[in-house]
Amino acid sequence: MENYPVPAQPIVRAMMDAASQDAVNTVAFQGAPGANSQIAVERMFAQAHPLPCFSFEDALEAVQDGRAARAMIPIENSLHGRVADIHFLLPESGLVIVGEHFLPIHYGLMATGSMAEVREVISHPQALGQCRHWLRSNGLKPVAYEDTAGAAALVAQRGDSGLAAIAPVRAAEIYGLNLLAENIADSADNVTRFVVLALEGDTPAPGPGVMTTAIYQVKNQPAALYKALGGFATNRVNMTKLESYQSGSSFAATEFYSDFEGHPDEPHVARALAELAFHTEWVRILGVYPQARSRGE
């Protein structure tokens, strides 16, 4: 609780109290009240109790210890790429991906004073990155903070008219700030993809509109990734996301995170996964869940 700026603390406490009475209908999110993650929870789970958590790890822990039935985590943004390192967080958590949601992102600039007084702008690094051209064109210095709505609460706490925050527009009302500008992202088509995590979920039946997420480690040999992914091409499985990352300090073994359309029980997907397994050290499925948006061909 004390990690949040003072103006956010009573709101966080009230939301925690409401969630504690109905954990089955509680969805944990990272950030202060007014964050995009809270908006995503409310859009996807209209009757849920959003539970604010200071970090991604705290949100996952809320599900692990039963304070929430689900957690909603932003995984990637259309303008600024990866948000959460879900390939590190999820395998260690014991949770699985049970759903996804795409949220259009609309940022505002808010402060205690006027636009003419603002010199520095604080927000989450993702928000600063999504608005970097706007900030540069207005001669404003970006300063990183843990989350967007928390930055708005901190601006309200400090009362420094030279300091502003980038946050969802509703945060200005929540924390009593002046909304100085709206829609300041560098592209109007600014969307964040969220994944929903739970201890277990109802796996959808094979058929159209199913996504699968997997992580795997390729063998340390030439053309390892090419061979590992060949089965997806020959079996016409549409891979929509592929990211590499290193685990450990040796830099000798590369691991990959992939999203692809289809259910592991469908014959063409099963064949692709069998070929993937043959050319990798290990494969782990992180979730099989309904698509929120068709990826196309």
Q: Just list the catalytic residues.
A: 192, 194
The residues facing 290 across adjacent strands are 210
Ranges of H-type helices in 168-291:
169-174, 224-234, 267-278
Angle at CA of residue 102, ends 60 and 93, nearest 5°: 15
What is the C-alpha to C-alpha distance for residues 213 and 234, in angstroms, rounded to an integer?
Answer: 19
For the record, the structure tokens of 172 come out as: 């200005």
Burial code (b: 16+ CB inside 10 Å, e: under 16) for 46-71 equals: eebbbbbbbebebbbbbbeeebbbbb
Torsion of CA 141, 144, 149, 155, to 10 degrees: -50
The answer to whether residues 175 and 9 touch, using CB atoms and an 8 Å cutoff, is: no
The amino acid present at 252, given as its one-letter code, is A
